[in-house]
Amino acid sequence: MAANVLFGYWSHDIGGFHSGNGSPGDGDPKNVTGSELLLRWIQFGAVAPIDRTHCDHCERRIWLFPHFEWMKQAFVLRNALVPYIYTNARNAFETGVSLVHPMYYANPNSEEAYSYKTQYMFGQDIIAAPITTVTNPQSHAVPKAVWLPSGVWVNWNGTKTYQGPIVVNDNYGVQDIPIFVRSGVVIPLQTAASVVSSFANPIMWTVFPGANSGRGQIYEDDGNSLDYMSNRYATTNVAYTVSISTIMVNISPTSGSFSGMPTSRSHMVQIRDYINNPASVKVNGQTIPPGTGTPGWYISNTYTLDITQGALVISTGNLPVNSQISVEITK
């Protein structure tokens, strides 16, 4: 609700400043309950305005904890979301609507928008509902009810599609963050290679199932000045269509410019929950080979929060930013 008073950028003190009095704490990595608490806090931070560990009486070296792998995945997800976050930061600049804001902004007449208090909009097209309770020691999962408003929504892995309004009751393991994406929206992500740059290279356009067409956009500027207030920024649009035999993804030439903007970049297209090998993949009419090379394509067989298991991942190779790029996937 901080968004209601235009306080858009706040953070958790992840790790906290409280210990004793029966609190398990997270100062001892061998304390599994404290480890899970820190994990869920880090996952919350991944979908917060600012992601910051800041604590006393706690252990900051996450690789010492039994939940390290999933803590790491939450940080990987946060880094991947930076282009989406930055694009929505521009939207906040233009509209006053913060990155994190209540469900009732877009659904003022829905009682559920007020009563489901542990979920929120994360940007214009993502609903986040972080887990904040301990998992059951027998099932190793925790139930969570999430309300989805009108429209079609897809879970983060791309494996389930929902027609809203609906309340989704599901069980989540320690590796899971309940995140839902508006169908028909392409979410711009980045890879670890882009972590030190305000210009994501490569940029990863992530397509979710559930719609036969959709679009997305990324906003970029120099990240270091007020030039964006003088129209020194750039946007890149993407659109896709799905037919019986093909998926077409069209990336438009970048519009606008800013100081230091590169003249070329590599694009990646991620089709969530594709699973089967495509018959062929072409970039600008040229067939590209299977494999993890650039250019190349592969089906992900590992579980991560940035490139999910079963996703088709296509790398175009380095191309001019002022060129039209067409990716054709034949099923």
Q: Are the beta carbons of 183 and 242 closer than 8 angstroms?
A: no
Q: Are the beta carbons of 310 and 327 closer than 8 angstroms?
A: no
The per-residue pLDDT for 29 is: 77
Q: Is the pLDDT of residue 203 over 80?
A: yes
User: Are 253 and 270 part of one and the same domain?
Assistant: yes
User: Are 125 and 171 part of one and the same domain?
Assistant: yes
User: Are 15 and 52 part of one and the same domain?
Assistant: yes
Please give the C-alpha separations between residue 246 and each of 86, 129, 268, 282, in angstroms, as whole numbers. Answer: 31, 34, 18, 11
Q: What is the DSSP string of 264-277?
A: EEEEEEEETT--SP
Structural domains of the chain, count: 3
Q: Which of 120, 125, 49, 51 is nearest to 89 (CA)?
A: 49
User: Are 306 and 294 part of one and the same domain?
Assistant: yes
DSSP category for residue 278: P
User: Are 108 and 41 part of one and the same domain?
Assistant: no
Q: Determine whether 61 is exposed, middle or buried from the number of CB atoms within 10 Å of its CB (0-12, 13-18, 19+).
A: exposed
How far apart are the C-alpha atoms of 3 and 10, rounded to whole Å?
A: 10
User: Are 123 and 201 part of one and the same domain?
Assistant: no
DSSP category for residue 194: G
Q: Is the pLDDT of residue 21 over 90?
A: no
Question: In this prediction, what percent of the chain has a pLDDT beyond 90?
Answer: 82
User: pLDDT for 66-81, tens place per residue?
Assistant: 999 999 999 999 999 9
Q: What is the DSSP string of 117-147?
A: TT-EEESSSEEE----SPPPTTTS-EEEEEE
Give me the CATH number covering residue 112.
2.60.40.1180
User: Are 47 and 127 part of one and the same domain?
Assistant: no
Residue given tokens 């088709």 in the structure block:
312
Q: Which of 42, 38, 51, 44 is nearest to 10 (CA)?
A: 51
User: pLDDT for 3-16, tens place per residue?
Assistant: 999 999 998 888 88
Enter the tokens of residue 294: 């650039």
Enter the tokens of residue 240: 């896709």
User: Are 18 and 52 part of one and the same domain?
Assistant: yes
The pTM score is: 0.94
User: Are 171 and 194 part of one and the same domain?
Assistant: no
The per-residue pLDDT for 221 is: 95
User: pLDDT for 244-285, tens place per residue?
Assistant: 999 999 999 999 999 999 999 999 999 999 988 999 999 999
The per-residue pLDDT for 27 is: 66
Please give the C-alpha separations between residue 127 and each of 149, 159, 210, 286, in angstroms, as whole numbers. Answer: 10, 16, 16, 37
**Domain that includes residue 238, residue range:** 186-330
**Residue ending a domain, choose from 80, 106, 123:** 80
Residue given tokens 């670890």 in the structure block:
192
**Residue ending a domain, choose from 142, 158, 182:** 182
